[in-house]
Chain A
Amino acid sequence: DIQLTQSPSSLSASVGDRVTITCRARQSINSYLNWYQQKPGQVPKLLIYGASSLQSGVPSRFSGSGSGTDFTLTINSLQPEDFATYYCQQTYSLMSSFGQGTKVEI
């Protein structure tokens, strides 16, 4: 399995803040890195695929960057509905894997 490490594990932020979450892979995964948002009691939702492509319908305040082993999810101007847990996922390997999650709290 390709291990993904997210940092931080949790963070506190305020509405309007710019938030950055990082995801590091143990080996190069090119751009096969996706980001999901999950709110309590809900199904994960795809935000970013291929490291930097915005999924249809996702607000443009979400953006992704990186390639190889280091990736970033940025939320510009955090909104109340953005408080959630965020997961990175690699699909480079035949066996996919997720990061441990980053909880964004008020």
Chain B
Amino acid sequence: QVRLVQSGAEVQKPGASVKVSCKASGDTFSDYYIHWVRQAPGQGLEWMGRINANSGGTNYGLKFHGRVTLTLDTSISTAYMDLSGLKSDDTAVYYCARAKVYQSYGQFDYWGQGTLVTVSS
């Protein structure tokens, strides 16, 4: 079955960087975009960016442009989200989700389990 498995919780200091991984299985990795979405405590969903798992092409949300970098290791069907210059309001659960490249409406049909990133001095 399709699974997206994310790396474990992280605690980082302000100004540091964090790298979260998302390992896909159960389907053809290169057929999909991997998107990243975050959710601060008690808040809504916030789209961060996406990477084409075939071409490696990326798109980033305006709020995160310059601070987030999305990469791939296609040999192990894994996507990575690197967020730099961490601030306390980056404390959130970070999700990866997939959307088929050629799917009609780009919907996110499978999500990772989420990774809690806590930024605290």
Interface residue ranges, A against B (CB under 8 Å): 1, 31-34, 36, 38, 43-44, 46, 49-50, 53, 55, 87, 89, 91, 94-101
- Asked if B59 lies at the interface with its beta carbon under 8 angstroms from chain A, I say yes
Report the Cα distance A2→B104, complex, angstroms: 19
Q: Is A87 within 8 A of B106, CB to CB?
A: no
Interface residues on B, range: 20 to 34
Q: Which residues of chain A have C-beta atoms less than 8 A from B114's C-beta?
A: 43
Which residues on the B side are within 8 Å of A91 (C-beta)?
99, 105-107
Contact B95 A55 (CB under 8 A): no
| In the complex, the 3 A-B pairs of residues with the closest C-beta atoms, listed nearest first | A91-B106, A49-B107, A50-B105
Stretch of B8-16, B42-50, B74-82, B83-91 with 4 or more beta carbons under 8 angstroms from chain A: B42-50
List residues 37-61 of chain B with CB under 8 A from any CB of chain A.
Answer: 37, 44-47, 50, 59-61
